[in-house]
Structure 1
Amino acid sequence: MRNFIKEFGLPRFIILLFILALFIIGGFIGVNLTDAFINVINRFGMNAVFVLAMIPMIQSGCGLNFGLPVGLIGGMLGATISIQLQLQGFAGVVFALFVGMVFGAIFGFLYSLILNKVKGDEMIVATYVGFSFIAFMNIMWVILPFTNSEMVMGYEGKGLRTTISLQNYWDKAISKILGFQVTSDAELGTKTLVPIGMFIVFALFAYLVYLYFKTKKGSAITAVGSNPRYAKAAGIDVNKHRTISVILSCALGAAGMVIYEQAYGFVQLYNAPQFFAFPSVAAILLGGASINKANVKNVIIGTLLFQAILTMTPIVINQVIKVDISEVLRLIISNGLIVYALTRKEVK
């Protein structure tokens, strides 16, 4: 047990015990544990690729990608173009993924040019770049020439709506792959989808990231992050490999946005990307990563713990006090975990 706790990490072990305690307490006070568990794994599938997108930049020494919205906007563009073309089902979501990742890679390249000029201050600058790009795109969403009546605002048909439904396009097109319905409430006959497709897609992306960092280029990125002076002396182009890492991170972020959107059932524009970077950073740090070393295991552990505590705590407390304060609690818990993750000194 001591070896397990040492390997797993004491803070993560305590959080795991707390989550188990919430499930046990929930069972005694009438919480629907089946529904709660499916909610946790749904949230894992929806958010895991965002957390995975942190790995390339951490490994290259660019630090935590607080500029993740740069990549997410690529995914949003892919989604809106797919809807504009009225593509449906699996073909529609695959098109959105491909186009989104292309835009994410392009934006990532431009983003990397800035980061390579501010070595040592990447995380601070990245935050401002992300917020600035969101503000710029808020203008672009209004003036881009989209014409689909389900997307545009008002009678003039100009500017995109804040929220666009995917019901007639590719709502849950990935989640439904090999997915199955589980009865979450026998009395009401409520059924919930178990999104096997999302887990398959995440596993595919995670495996590709794992394989990439076993290649010569992936090892070079890790060398740049570990010791840039040694890497340069060994003939490795430091800026080039940092650029590759930023492009990969933003392309993964774009893919994560499309996966999230198809699971959520809506495309949210304008300021929506602001709410993804910090929880993703917190999750990977909670999983045991540091600001210069991360792997797929950190992504899986961190995302599960973060989403489980974010889901279960409001459910249990709401059931006890009979008042819905879930949004307030989620805000407190989310920001609390972010503060913990960003200030902890443990390095693994």
Structure 2
Amino acid sequence: MDKAIKEYVNRFGIPRIIIVAFLLSLLVMAIMLEIPINDLLSDALVRTGMNGILVLAMVPGILAGIGLNFGIPIGIVCGLIGGLLAIEFDLYGFTALFTAVAISIPLSLVAGYFYGLLLNRVKGSEMTIATYVGFSIVSLMSIGWLILPFTSEDMRWPIGTGLRTTITLQGRYERILNEWGAFELFNVKIPTGLLLFMLFFCFLVWAFLRSRTGTAMIAAGDSPKFATASGINVNRMRVVGTMLSTALSAVGIVIYSQSFGFIQLYQAPMFMSFAAVAAILIGGATIKKANIANVIIGAFLFQSLLVISLPVANKVLEDVSSLAEIARIVISNGIILYALTQIGGGE
């Protein structure tokens, strides 16, 4: 019996057990503080769906051998351009949403190709270079948002030049997936369309990983020397993984924006990769191994921790607003820091 428990613990992972225990303790505290649990769970499901594809973007990069892709802001920028063009074309509803996705995918594939070539030239330092590249593209596009020739009055500053920092999607495709097919179960609102869209992309990645190209990509990431001996072009497979990761992050930000209700430009995408990395690590992935289950579990655990911990902290420290805000920052960044410390575990 003890051996079986030990094997289960090892398989599930000590870090994940700690995270789950912490989450359960927060749920107990929320009940004691009379915070509506159904609202918290509803919000957790929404945040899981809106962040899920961004977390999924980590899988191809990890399996291709480039490690945790801190460079997903490259894809995020492509997705933002797709969302802005949908507004520029004055589109609404699902037409606007799918147009944004359709535009962002080819843009991100091209960007991902050149990004993959760069990563092939810095083998062994991919995560460091990816972080610099991600920060650089966000900073560069802070200039781009000021000079790109968008003309829609819904996006431009009323005085001066350039695009607004935050652009509302109200009346266009705000929360369109969240509301599609939504229903309540035990007073918990299930965002059916949002979750199905995330699961659909999870299925696409799952199917790709079982294709001939996907299998070759995994082999190249797992053992480059063996893959080369088997006739697999390792550099090409690394580029394929990078392109797929970049494309998923582009789609992910479109879905994130529609669920959030706003498109955020300039410095907003700067640190989005850290939350995605933290989520997949909490889900049980390492810098060499990842699967779809890691994505779903990690996205749910990470977002549930944020959703539940912040109201609890606010309730406990409601008489000291400044401390409540500090507690929210400490909790959210503490979760990311804890996840990052698990990078070496399980390699």
Shorter-chain TM-score bucket reads: over 0.9
Quick one: which of 142, 148, 164 aligns to 1:161?
164
Shift of 1:327: 4.2
Q: Pick from 234, 238, 242: which aligns with 2:234? A: 238
Match status 1:346 vs 2:342: no
Matching residue of 1:85: 89
SS in 1 for 2:177: coil
Note closer, same or farther for the CA distance 1:41–1:326 as it changes in structure 2 (3 Å cut).
Answer: farther
- TM-score, normalised on structure 2? 0.93
Secondary structure of 1:206 counterpart: helix
Alignment of 1:211-222 (within 5 A): 211-222=207-218
How far apart, in 1, do the equivalents of 2:267 and 2:304 lie?
Answer: 25
Shift of 1:58: 0.2
User: Does residue 336 of the first structure (1) align with residue 339 of the second (2)?
Assistant: no
Normalising by structure 1, what TM-score? 0.93
Residue of structure 1 aligned with 2:192, choices 196, 205, 212: 196
Greater Cα offset, 252-261 or 14-23: 14-23
Secondary structure of 1:92's counterpart equals helix
Identity among equivalent pairs (%): 41
- Structure 2: runs of 5+ lacking an equivalent: none
Distance 1:309 1:328 in 2: 16
Distance 2:42 2:132 in 1: 36
**Which of 89, 94, 97 is the equivalent residue of 2:98?**
94
Structure 1 alignment gaps of length 5 or more: 185-191
Seen in structure 2, the aligned counterparts of structure 1 residues 318 and 330 have a Cα distance that, compared at 3 Å, is closer
Residue aligning to 1:179: 182
Indicate conservation of the 8 Å contact 1:47/1:256, yes or no.
yes
Conserved in 1, the CA contact under 8 Å of 2:46 and 2:178?
no
Greater Cα offset, 62-71 or 306-315: 306-315
Check whether the contact 1:65–1:277 (CA below 8 A) recurs between aligned residues: yes
Asked whether 1:20 is paired with 2:24, we answer yes
Alpha carbons of structure 1 residues 65 and 43: separation in structure 2 relative to 1, 3 Å: same
The answer to whether the aligner puts 1:128 opposite 2:132 as a matched pair is yes
1:112 to 111, 116, 122: 116
Are the equivalent residues in 1 in contact too, given 2:166–2:263 (CA < 8 A)? yes
Rounded Cα–Cα distance in structure 1 between residues aligned with 2:185 and 2:315: 22
Which runs of structure 2 are paired with 1:249-260 in the superposition (5 Å)?
Answer: 249-260=245-256
Q: Deviations over 1:69-92 (max 9, x none)?
A: 001001100000000001000111
* Alpha-carbon shift at residue 232 of structure 1 (Å): 1.2
Contact 2:65 2:220 in 1 (8 A): yes
Alpha-carbon deviation of 1:276? 0.8
Question: 2: distance between equivalents of 1:297 and 1:208?
Answer: 14
Match of 2:264 among 262, 268, 274: 268
Residue 189 of structure 1: aligned partner: none
Q: Does 1:292 align with 2:292?
A: no
Contact kept, 8 Å, 1:315 with 1:326, in 2: the verdict is: no
* 1:130-145 aligned within 5 A: 130-145=134-149
Note the aligned Cα RMSD (angstroms): 1.7
Q: 1:266-292: CA deviations, max 9, x gaps?
A: 000111111310011111111111101
